[in-house]
């Protein structure tokens, strides 16, 4: 077993390449730029096409085009770039375009602090484009998870023909950590299901049951195919028919919602008799882990759940984690974005306490212990 | 490919083209069809890419593959398709409106020289939204948004593409008898090619401005616009060059291999080390060497760096954690060791230094004036020693001093990490610097 001393952004690039990523387009932005650099440095070995686009709109546009031509595409940016991706995210959703979008979060709003960490894009990613369709977002807590979850993100993107987000931050992206990537067990690689070559006619958005994922035919393949930003039917022809329109919306929605269990990635550390649950995600999970250990050493009964798949919200597992719980502590590097989801799930009788700050420094274990009332 | 030549690349499945009576788009689309018939490409290898605007209604009338994207962004999808599949014939149909909102993509594709063909259906206003002015509306043009006449100067799309480095540019108009040949010629170019086709908008621009064929040709004549070939400067196309270079690049850059821990560190608990100095003092590199040495000595390590976005100026601070166990929280609330190398670094972490407790040891450059602190302060001549060892060596000097003084792990591990360096001159420099740093402790 060997250890490498690498940053999260390198792990993301390598996770993507392990998943078969063959196209990267991005625009430089701190703290995401080094993903572009790491992808570029591996072009000779992988043959991956890597291009710096003229802006973020072009970055995601290139990726959508490349993905629809059959490539596994990756792009990476930070909050300001996600703002510019917004309209194309909607296109990728209704075009059923597999791709992975990395948000290496930094302090916002606006330009904010380019070199400072934050996790302020949690709800922004969820509602980042017009229409409110569900999306998939994974959030690593370590450099090793940045590798693993990027790989898994590609699998989800391919399987469900949809853009998948990686929500990481400067605090993981630009932090080096002793890591053994090779020791990480990865699931089998998934490639998008292709239309059978002998099929006469290709419907780009064909489904019987609304949750079905349509087979894919790349541009330039054997089949004539279409793609459109307009409200469309299964043939990707513009439609104004309300019934067809609703059917398509139900399709985009249910293919994600029906897969909720499969998309669930959480790490549970429960303690019998605990009435307090610490629910965390991203880099702050690491502070939570220290805080929970310390509270237990002080004789407190505390359970912990770490959410790796932020969207869709893994409600089933969160509900299960809340059994017997009277207080949920939710530490976040924002002013309480994911806490909204927990409050919604917790309902009456369960106190939900946020430990929040947005001063560019990490929420510390001490913050969680004191403000979360764990001692 | 079929044996008998295709008579058309359009489909009548959706009925006739949807344009207003007399609209120039109709002429243009039929000319594109004739151009494809002339060239006879495999329709599954042709992609018509459009975006928003009346001309964006046309892609689905083709029996080729079709891609209809966001307003002004068609060029980006086309480039993505072409980058992924350089063998495809990718044709963009775009309006003058799209050239405005997506102007940067026009500049970039011309400059990059990606081998797509851009056909602009240029009718001087936004038809789809009710006839507002566009980037090509003539001065004085009456539109929905310029009721007193357009005050903005029009953008010459051909000159703009040319200035951005386009290889092949043609200005056409909807009355050209040879429009289909022109388009076929454009498609045949291996480089980026653009046809700026001036047209009549019978719904809005023509009635408001009396812009019929005669007036359109007169406007061109009176304002120095010529029709026909504008640019023909062949240069290598991007995607072909890219593939050639990548396919030829067989050797991967040399990388550091994974570290097999061979030694034992002497730490029993998680230990935080902050190194603060100036940009240009190689703080980050030295901190990485320290961390890798720790890993070699069977410790876990994390490193975070804080520095301004400029280089060689201002502060540079590295935070390193070494631990016998897994490292969770990567913040250092109470550092065990602080290394201070310059006033820049001290300024950056001053409040931290002021609040250090007595368990912390500070290794400070002797010339620095320190604020009051409860930490134990050890002063060394890091700057002078670094100067003797060689430029950029001061951080390595100081970290060697720290290791020798604290024995967090064997010095052998630090030397091992230094020898991993890929640049022999740097390895040599750091080896000397480390020895000098150790001597600072042993010489006392």
Q: Express each pLDDT in A325-353 by its tens digit.
A: 999 999 999 999 999 999 999 988 999 99
Assess whether pLDDT exceeds 90 at residue A201. no
Are the CB atoms for B382 and B436 separated by under 8 Å? no
The reported pTM is 0.98
Look up residue B2 and give its two tokens. 């079929």
B32 conformational bin, left if phi > 0, alpha if psi -120 to 50, beta if neither: alpha
What mean pLDDT value characterizes chain A?
A: 97
Measure in Å the smallest separation between the Cα of B66 and chain A Cα atoms.
5
* Chain A residues touching residue B84 (CB < 8 angstroms): 22-23, 49, 65-67, 69-71
Mean pLDDT of A12-32: 98
Cα-Cα end-to-end distance for chain A = 39
Say yes or no for a CB contact (<8 Å) between A176 and B14. no
> What is d(CA B306, CA B327) in angstroms, rounded to the nearest whole number?
19
Are the CB atoms for A176 and B288 separated by under 8 Å? yes
Confidence bin at B2 (pLDDT 50/70/90): low
- Looking at residue B3, what is its pLDDT? 73
- Looking at residue B311, what is its pLDDT? 78
Least-confidence region, from A40-54, A292-306, B208-222, B240-254: B240-254
Element (DSSP H or E) covering residue B412: helix B411-419
Assess whether pLDDT exceeds 80 at residue B107. yes
Say yes or no for a CB contact (<8 Å) between A226 and B309. no
> Using CB atoms within 10 A of its CB, is residue A163 exposed (0-12), middle (13-18) or buried (19+)?
buried
Assess whether pLDDT exceeds 90 at residue B389. no
Mean pLDDT of A167-172: 98
What mean pLDDT value characterizes chain B?
A: 96
Confidence bin at B237 (pLDDT 50/70/90): very high
> What is d(CA A251, CA B53) in angstroms, rounded to the nearest whole number?
28
Out of B80, B88, B246, name the one closest to residue A64 (CB): B80
* Chain A residues touching residue B292 (CB < 8 angstroms): 5
- Looking at residue A1, what is its pLDDT? 66
Confidence bin at B266 (pLDDT 50/70/90): very high
- Looking at residue A217, what is its pLDDT? 98
Say yes or no for a CB contact (<8 Å) between A62 and B80. yes
**B123-164: pLDDT as tens digits:** 999 999 999 999 999 999 999 999 999 999 999 999 999 999
Nearest to B69 by CA among A205, A227, A264, A346: A227
> What is d(CA A157, CA A163) in angstroms, rounded to the nearest whole number?
6
Residue B88 in contact with partner chain A when CB distance is under 8 A:
yes
How far are the Cα atoms of A141, B276, B339 from residue B331, in angstroms, in the given order? 14, 15, 17
* Chain A residues touching residue B88 (CB < 8 angstroms): 69, 219-220
Residue A66 in contact with partner chain B when CB distance is under 8 A:
yes
**A69-94: pLDDT as tens digits:** 999 999 999 999 999 999 999 999 99
Residue A237 in contact with partner chain B when CB distance is under 8 A:
yes
**B20-64: pLDDT as tens digits:** 999 999 999 999 999 999 999 999 999 999 999 999 999 999 999
What is the chain A residue with the closest CA to B297? A3
Out of A47, A218, A366, name the one closest to residue B246 (CB): A47
B293, B329, B334, B421, best to mutate vs chain A, most A CBs in 10 Å: B329
Q: A residues 271-310 near B, CB within 8 Å?
A: 283, 286-287, 289-290
What percentage of chain B's residues is helix, strand, coil (to nearest 5)? 40, 20, 40
* Chain A residues touching residue B44 (CB < 8 angstroms): 220-224
Say yes or no for a CB contact (<8 Å) between A286 and B330. yes
Measure in Å the smallest separation between the Cα of A9 and chain B Cα atoms.
13
Look up residue B20 and give its two tokens. 């207003």
> What is d(CA A9, CA A102) in angstroms, rounded to the nearest whole number?
10
* Chain B residues touching residue A114 (CB < 8 angstroms): 309
> Using CB atoms within 10 A of its CB, is residue B322 exposed (0-12), middle (13-18) or buried (19+)?
buried
Question: Looking at this predicted complex, what is its ipTM?
Answer: 0.98
Q: B residues 257-316 near A, CB within 8 Å?
A: 257-261, 288, 291-292, 295, 299-309
- Looking at residue B444, what is its pLDDT? 78
Measure in Å the smallest separation between the Cα of A349 and chain B Cα atoms.
31
Out of B68, B107, B291, name the one closest to residue A229 (CB): B68
**A203-218: pLDDT as tens digits:** 999 999 999 999 999 9
């Amino acid at each position: 077993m060997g250890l490498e001393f690498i940053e999260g952004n390198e792990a993301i690039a390598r996770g993507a390449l392990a998943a078969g990523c063959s196209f990267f387009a991005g625009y430089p932005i701190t703290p995401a730029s080094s993903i572009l650099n790491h992808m570029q440095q591996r072009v000779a070995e992988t043959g991956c096409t890597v291009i710096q686009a003229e802006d973020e709109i072009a970055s995601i546009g290139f990726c959508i085009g490349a993905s629809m031509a059959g490539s596994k595409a990756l792009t990476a940016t930070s909050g300001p770039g996600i703002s510019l991706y917004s309209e194309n995210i909607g296109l990728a959703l209704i075009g059923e375009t597999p791709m992975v979008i990395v948000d290496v979060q930094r302090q916002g709003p606006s330009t904010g602090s380019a070199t400072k960490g934050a996790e302020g894009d949690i709800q922004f990613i969820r509602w980042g484009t017009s229409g409110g369709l569900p999306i998939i977002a994974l959030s690593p807590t370590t450099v090793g998870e940045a590798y693993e979850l990027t790989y898994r993100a590609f699998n989800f993107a391919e399987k469900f023909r949809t853009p998948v987000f990686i929500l990481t931050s400067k605090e993981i992206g630009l932090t080096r950590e002793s890591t053994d990537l090779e020791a990480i067990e990865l699931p089998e690689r998934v490639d998008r299901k292709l239309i059978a070559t002998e099929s006469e006619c290709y419907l780009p958005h064909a489904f019987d049951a609304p949750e079905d994922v349509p087979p894919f035919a790349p541009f330039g393949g054997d089949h004539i195919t279409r793609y459109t930003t307009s409200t469309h039917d299964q043939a990707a022809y513009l439609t104004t028919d309300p019934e067809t329109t609703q059917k398509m919306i139900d399709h985009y929605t249910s293919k994600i919602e029906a897969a909720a269990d499969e998309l669930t990635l959480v790490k549970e550390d429960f303690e019998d008799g605990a009435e307090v649950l610490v629910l965390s995600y991203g880099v702050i999970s690491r502070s939570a882990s220290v805080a929970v250990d310390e509270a237990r050493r002080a004789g407190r009964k505390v359970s912990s759940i770490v959410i790796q798949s932020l969207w869709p919200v893994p409600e089933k597992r969160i509900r299960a984690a809340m059994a017997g719980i009277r207080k949920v502590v939710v530490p976040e590097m924002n002013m309480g974005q994911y806490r909204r989801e927990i409050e919604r799930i917790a309902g009456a009788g369960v106190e939900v306490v946020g430990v929040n700050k947005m001063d560019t420094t990490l929420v510390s274990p001490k913050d969680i212990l004191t403000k979360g009332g764990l001692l | 490919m079929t044996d008998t030549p295709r008579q058309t690349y359009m489909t009548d499945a959706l009925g006739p083209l949807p344009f207003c009576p007399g609209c120039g788009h109709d002429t243009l689309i039929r000319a594109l069809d004739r151009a494809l018939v002339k060239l006879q490409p495999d329709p599954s290898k042709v992609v018509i890419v459009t975006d928003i605007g009346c001309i964006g209604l046309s892609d689905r009338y083709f029996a080729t593959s079709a891609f209809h994207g966001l307003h002004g962004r068609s060029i980006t999808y086309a480039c993505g398709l072409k980058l992924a599949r350089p063998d495809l014939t990718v044709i963009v149909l775009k309006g003058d409106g799209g050239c405005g909102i997506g102007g940067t993509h026009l500049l970039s594709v011309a400059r990059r020289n990606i081998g797509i063909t851009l056909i602009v259906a240029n009718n001087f206003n936004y038809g789809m939204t009710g006839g507002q002015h566009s980037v090509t509306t003539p001065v004085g043009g009456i539109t929905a948004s310029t009721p007193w006449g357009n005050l903005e100067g029009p953008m010459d799309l051909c000159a703009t593409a040319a200035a951005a480095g386009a290889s092949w540019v043609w200005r056409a108009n909807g009355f050209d008898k040879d429009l289909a040949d022109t388009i076929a010629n454009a498609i045949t170019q291996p480089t980026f090619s653009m046809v700026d086709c001036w047209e009549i908008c019978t719904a809005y621009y023509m009635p408001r401005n009396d812009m019929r064929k005669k007036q359109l040709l007169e406007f061109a004549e009176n304002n120095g616009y010529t029709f026909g070939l504008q640019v023909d400067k062949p240069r290598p196309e991007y995607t072909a060059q890219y593939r050639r270079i990548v396919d030829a690049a067989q050797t991967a850059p040399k990388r550091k291999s994974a570290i097999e821990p061979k030694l034992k560190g002497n730490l029993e608990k998680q230990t935080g080390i902050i190194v603060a100095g100036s940009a240009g003092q190689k703080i980050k590199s030295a901190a990485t060497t320290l961390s890798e040495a720790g890993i070699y000595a069977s410790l876990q390590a994390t490193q975070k760096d804080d520095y301004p976005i400029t280089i060689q100026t201002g502060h540079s601070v590295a935070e390193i954690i070494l631990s016998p166990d897994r490292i969770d929280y990567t913040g250092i609330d109470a550092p065990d060791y602080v290394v201070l190398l310059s006033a820049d670094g001290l300024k950056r972490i001053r409040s931290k230094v002021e609040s250090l407790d007595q368990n912390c040891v500070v290794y400070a450059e002797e010339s620095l004036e320190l604020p009051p602190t409860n930490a134990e302060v050890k002063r060394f001549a890091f700057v002078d020693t670094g100067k003797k060892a060689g430029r950029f060596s001061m951080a390595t000097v100081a970290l060697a001093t720290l290791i020798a003084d604290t024995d967090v792990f064997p010095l052998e591990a630090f030397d091992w990490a230094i020898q991993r360096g890929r640049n022999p001159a740097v390895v040599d420099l750091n080896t000397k610097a480390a020895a000098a740093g150790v001597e600072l402790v042993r010489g006392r």
